[in-house]
Structure 1
């Protein structure tokens, strides 16, 4: 018996989404086996593999939802507990992550980030971090140079694109937005025994379909007064 490999598509080795690409992405959370602070986050978090570290992280997989890079994936960890503390004794990593999560919600729902009406504030309330699973928003994607020459560069989330940015409306309208690369110098290699796990070394799951709540309006963003979410019924995007 023979196997004819000529009709198989060539391997796309080392392909990265170009630095500075704007795209709608879907975030899927991968459980790490450590409980969060509430029942909804049971088994959700991942402990650091560094000896003596108290860091707990959210393990996120991002899938491009549409456009020329549809179904392409990248991965990122978000600190939600522990690590370096600020002067007030708060986790610096968690403060950064929390700001990113709020931006995801605003981008997903088309909320003006300056809208602090009671209705808008209610839509930013989560039962737990697990409510972010499946959220769809506009992202700018970067290429992060590897810290270890043994590993390849990887795609990461540069930042969440808010409804007040012109690129948000264009992406939501299905337009092609030119990439805006950010110049970065290659960081020094990590010490031996502490490599950064590359994106291509992580397990992959099937690309999730974009949820209905991800179909945000393409109208120019403005302060809104959306209906408040029903208490205890989950995040706003599950209550259209």
Structure 2
């Protein structure tokens, strides 16, 4: 009789939920649902339609990129349409806008042409694989058990954004006009954190 020896196996990993409110850098991937509606701009098979409710959404997976919870996964839906009204789709649009601001280092109050362009995508493929800073929340799954989800993106106006996203993604002032110091002294503009990030 032969035996399988498990004495040298690794210890079990803990699967405690990531605490509510934890800020984590995540990579979002979309699990394609195969539903397209070109009139809405939903192409490429990314959207999912629930045949029972008629709702349409992006079925998203979020993988933590680094830190204590690296490689942990969470799943959330981003609403595109609900027969009950526009609220779910509006919440989905607001979430995608915040994801783009977070991923591309754009302050939510920035209305410059560059910022507006950064909030545009050609299609859902542009969101597949995007990295941003997310806030962990909990909600109940279909069995009534708590599960960790990402429902909010942390944008550059948050005090911890630059530290957690890394200096390479820190927002830069959108204006190139010299500041008052440079105009008064004729010296190079003083650079640094924009006034809203102080």
Please state which band the TM-score falls in when normalised by the shorter chain. Answer: 0.7 to 0.9
TM-score by length of 2: 0.78
What is aligned with 1:224? 174
What is aligned with 1:167? 160
Consecutive unaligned residues in structure 1, runs of 5 or more: 86-90, 174-214, 227-240
Correspondence list, 1:32-181, <5 A: 32-37=33-38, 41-49=43-51, 51=52, 53-85=53-85, 91-146=86-141, 148-149=143-144, 152-173=145-166
TM-score by length of 1: 0.65
Larger RCO, structures 1/2 (Cα 8 Å, 6+ apart): 1
Q: Alignment partner of 1:41: what SS?
A: strand
Consecutive unaligned residues in structure 2, runs of 5 or more: 177-198
Greater strand content: 2
Residue 6 of structure 1 deviates from its aligned partner by 2.1
**Aligned residue-pair number:** 174
Greater helix content: 2
Structure with the greater alpha carbon radius of gyration: 2
Q: CA RMSD in A?
A: 2.3
Residue 100 and residue 18 in structure 1: after superposition, are their counterparts in 2 closer, same or farther (change >3 A)? same
Q: Alignment partner of 1:42: what SS?
A: strand
Q: Alignment partner of 1:5: what SS?
A: coil
Residue 26 of structure 1 deviates from its aligned partner by 0.6
What is aligned with 1:185? none
Q: Which moved more, 1:92-101 or 1:15-24?
A: 15-24
Asked whether the 8 Å contact 1:60–1:77 carries over to 2, the reply is yes
Cα separation, 2, equivalents of 1:13 and 1:6: 19
